[in-house]
Structure 1
């Protein structure tokens, strides 16, 4: 069974015109479809039809989509989720534009997940025949792809067990109350492959979104993104800085509706046999903001 990646993040926005300006002109995403109160985007190095869905009317997360490698994975995940005690429903091809049949369920943290195997492939902006390194006419930051997300849950340990049992994820890093094997989990960073994390879960209220992130190449691109955010009057939350946890380089910022975004570069390769890194509360400032080594209270309390 293989969950390959987060396929799409579907979020609500209060004003579609402002949101489109942010995601298209500042972030550099390409609009692929629009219908009703929804607009669909992909990044230049993504090949599936969309990775971001904006829905006008409110703020915060609607759902995440997860793409699996094999159609048989849908049956296996349905079986595992049902065994965990989660009610699973089938979704039909076309319920999400250009997405095939799949399953849908609400996690123990009250987040909606959709799992699918088929998506319309429209190709990257550089193609696959003698491709260039990047498109000549990138707009704004020109992010290449959706990367990961952080959500909050009243019981991060339960979500850790759920993602392990249902998606076959494994934790790369955790924040725990102590180094003991039975210590309470405060936060967990989880993945299915070599990406340092596909989904992180932090202690907090159920159903909330902390941020969703876009991938960048290196420190230089992260710094350039921060400059562009200043040019476009994008509210910067934190950064540019480095995480101790994951070792990633980062800038956190807000879209016009108040949904927190991130650009993320670096991080190390994850492997199932690599020992998990464990952080304790006394070192949490260093873990989250490696340079300042102090936590900003708003960073963990501002959610959508």
Structure 2
């Protein structure tokens, strides 16, 4: 294993005070650092220093951080990215607070990725010595962890190849123009673990963010989250509902700046030898929104 997980999502927000209220008081993230126009957060069941970075000044994605298992994985990924034709630069410890040395590059989809091994360990909110199941005083939704993200690219097939060749990811699900092996890829859901997807890529403009998602446990927690969004006047985009693709339970909603968030629960276990699920465009509504079986235009066109 090289890439273990999505370590952090760094996004822009128009109003930092409004964003802090949303991510701290509605989502229940813990602030770990405030520095200039940036605020750093972690969720209660995460042990590294941060998983979400908010930067005031606009909307959309600044970059993703990907944590690797060994420091040698950084060199390996650097070579593979260069072989793919990507220009790689080195980043030094401290360029990102509490993050060690690593590499930075722009993907074929025009998204900035950082790869690192070292992060300051701050521990979960329940510790590791006879830990409780969850913190007694959760705030808001009380999400336990960052889960995955979905981005757009003009050529999802190229990003599928990039993530496979450079990160060692494999596709668990795809939307293709047909069932043929050489069909064009419209969207792909990719992982390198048993997590159903760590990053998904949908056909669309270069460099855009569709959403980033937080993990929840089950349907009950997803429904409770939707109730809390209504209490806090958080604009709900879609849900609660289920995906056909990944089988996850979901609510999509927007932060105060218009960045789309998701809470996600369930989904099946992925394995490299599991046959990939393939969806065709005629079934895309069912694939994305299993109950309604209709895909509204705003869901794929509203991006930041």
1:66 aligns with 2:66: yes
Counterpart for residue 256 of structure 1? 256
Counterpart for residue 291 of structure 1? 291
Deviation digits for residues 193-241 of structure 1, max 9, x if unmatched?
Answer: 1000000000000000000000000000000000000000000000000
Deviation digits for residues 169-198 of structure 1, max 9, x if unmatched?
Answer: 000000000000000000000001100000
Counterpart for residue 129 of structure 2? 129
Provide runs of 4+ in structure 1 moved above 3 Å: none
Counterpart secondary structure, 2:118:
coil
Aligned length: 304
Structure 1 distance, partners of 2:150, 2:35, is 28
Structure 2 distance, partners of 1:296, 1:231, is 25
Counterpart for residue 21 of structure 1? 21
Counterpart secondary structure, 1:158:
helix
Deviation digits for residues 35-57 of structure 1, max 9, x if unmatched?
Answer: 01000000000000000000000
Q: CA RMSD in A?
A: 0.3
Structure 1 distance, partners of 2:160, 2:130, is 42
Alignment of 1:1-304 (within 5 A): 1-304=1-304
Counterpart secondary structure, 2:55:
strand
Structure 2 distance, partners of 1:96, 1:175, is 36
Structure 2 distance, partners of 1:103, 1:195, is 24
Deviation digits for residues 265-299 of structure 1, max 9, x if unmatched?
Answer: 00000000000000000000000000000001100
Q: CA deviation at 1:9?
A: 0.1
Structure 1 distance, partners of 2:178, 2:14, is 41
Deviation digits for residues 117-159 of structure 1, max 9, x if unmatched?
Answer: 0000000000000000000000000000000000000000000
Q: CA deviation at 1:2?
A: 1.4
Structure 2 distance, partners of 1:15, 1:193, is 36
Structure 2's unaligned 5+ residue stretches are none
Structure 2 distance, partners of 1:257, 1:42, is 20
Structure 2 distance, partners of 1:185, 1:218, is 30
Structure 1 distance, partners of 2:206, 2:170, is 21
Structure 2 distance, partners of 1:131, 1:297, is 45
Structure 1 distance, partners of 2:283, 2:84, is 33
Deviation digits for residues 237-259 of structure 1, max 9, x if unmatched?
Answer: 00000000000000000000000
Structure 2 distance, partners of 1:62, 1:228, is 28
With normalisation by structure 1, the TM-score equals 1.00
Counterpart secondary structure, 1:212:
strand
Structure 1 distance, partners of 2:193, 2:139, is 30
Structure 2 distance, partners of 1:159, 1:116, is 20
Structure 1 distance, partners of 2:244, 2:35, is 41
Counterpart secondary structure, 2:128:
coil
